[in-house]
Structure 1
Amino acid sequence: MNSWVTLTASLVVLLSIASLPLLKNHYFLNWRPWWSSNSVVADLLVTNGTIYTSDDSLPFADSMAILNGRVLRVGNYSSLKDLAGYGTEELNLEGKVVVPGFIDSHVHLLSGGLQMAQVELRGMNRKDEFVIKVKEAVASKLSC
């Protein structure tokens, strides 16, 4: 009976250890040792790249820590290591460049410019002035 209990317990421990990699991305594995001063753990560390920050005090960095899709900290790798936990993934950029997102307002410059030339809106400071100008332009187009 005693050897059966020992064998069963050993098997449970072995299976538990073997299944740990399957749980890698579970939130509860982003633990910190009790002696750590930092309680925040990043989901992702982006390393070994050129990251443009658009901040005059640090225009470029080589690493970035991210938690829940938000940037926690940007800097060199050694300044971000304290944000890594057991479940933190690391993405090696291999020298690639990261820049902030660009928003395409999708303006067709030629036709947009021609439309602006048809109604003079420069110098409009108030909404009522703008509305009057647009109404006048529409009325003149309808009368043609």
Structure 2
Amino acid sequence: MHNKLHANLVITNANIWTFDEEKPRAEYLAVFFDTIIKVGNKDEIERLIGPGTEIIDAKGNTILPGFIDAHTHITWTGLNKIYLDLREAKSLEEVLEMVKEDIATKEKGEWIIGRAWDQSNWSLQRYITAADL
């Protein structure tokens, strides 16, 4: 007996970016429960449609893969470019040296915002205070 796999969901008429150099775009995709099982053209996908398949017309809208699979802190990544990254500091003295170096790159009155230090790795075992700075 041959069991034919049918998709639970088929999306048609889409602008799918595959990021595959061999086949950069597609118009159809098929889903079986939570997994995309096929991305392709009409002929490739229509054979996966069964009596219980939900069909959604994407009306030419764009579909991009994979962004929900990643866990990122993109805001913090960007802020690390403008804030003083203290993650590698192993002591209060190292923090003070890093702040001193950053001061040399700033204009008078410009704020220095430091982040990402971990005082629990220091022998001092306390936060940086205004008096320290």
What TM-score do the two structures reach when normalised by structure 1?
A: 0.54
Asked if 1:107 corresponds to 2:107, the answer is: no
Do structure 1's residue 52 and structure 2's residue 17 form an aligned pair? yes
Match of 2:90 in 1: 134
Task: Give a deviation string over 1:27-52, Cα, whole Å, max 9, x none.
Answer: xxxxxxx6xx6621100110011111
Corresponding residue SS for 1:51: strand
Cα offset, 1:70, TM superposition: 1.0
Sequence identity, in percent? 25
State how many pairs are aligned: 96
The RMSD of aligned alpha carbons is 2.8
Letter of the 2:82 partner, please give it: G
Q: Does 1:82 align with 2:51?
A: no
- Residues in 2 aligned to 1:97 and 1:45: alpha-carbon distance in whole angstroms: 15
Letter in 2 for 1:95: G
Matches of 2:13 and 2:3, distance apart in 1: 23
The ranges of structure 1 where at least 4 consecutive aligned residues each deviate by more than 4 angstroms after the TM superposition are none
Which of 27, 42, 48 lines up with 1:62 in the alignment? 27
Give the secondary-structure state (helix, strand or coil) at the position aligned to 1:134: coil
Asked if the contact 1:38–1:82 (Cα under 8 Å) also holds between the matched residues in 2, the reply is no
Q: Which has the higher helix share?
A: 1
Length-normalised TM-score, structure 2: 0.58
- Quick one: distance in 1 between partners of 2:21 and 2:3? 27
Q: Flag structure 1 segments of 5+ consecutive residues without an equivalent.
A: 1-33, 122-129
2:41 corresponds to 1:72: no
Q: Greater Rg, structure 1 or structure 2?
A: 1
- 2:90 partner SS: helix
Q: 1:72 to 1:110 in 2, by over 3 A?
A: closer
The aligned counterpart of 2:109 is none
Q: Report what 2:115 is aligned to.
A: none
State how far apart, in whole Å, the 1-side matches of 2:80 and 2:13 are.
44
Aligned to 1:8: none
CA contact (8 A) 1:50 1:62 kept: yes
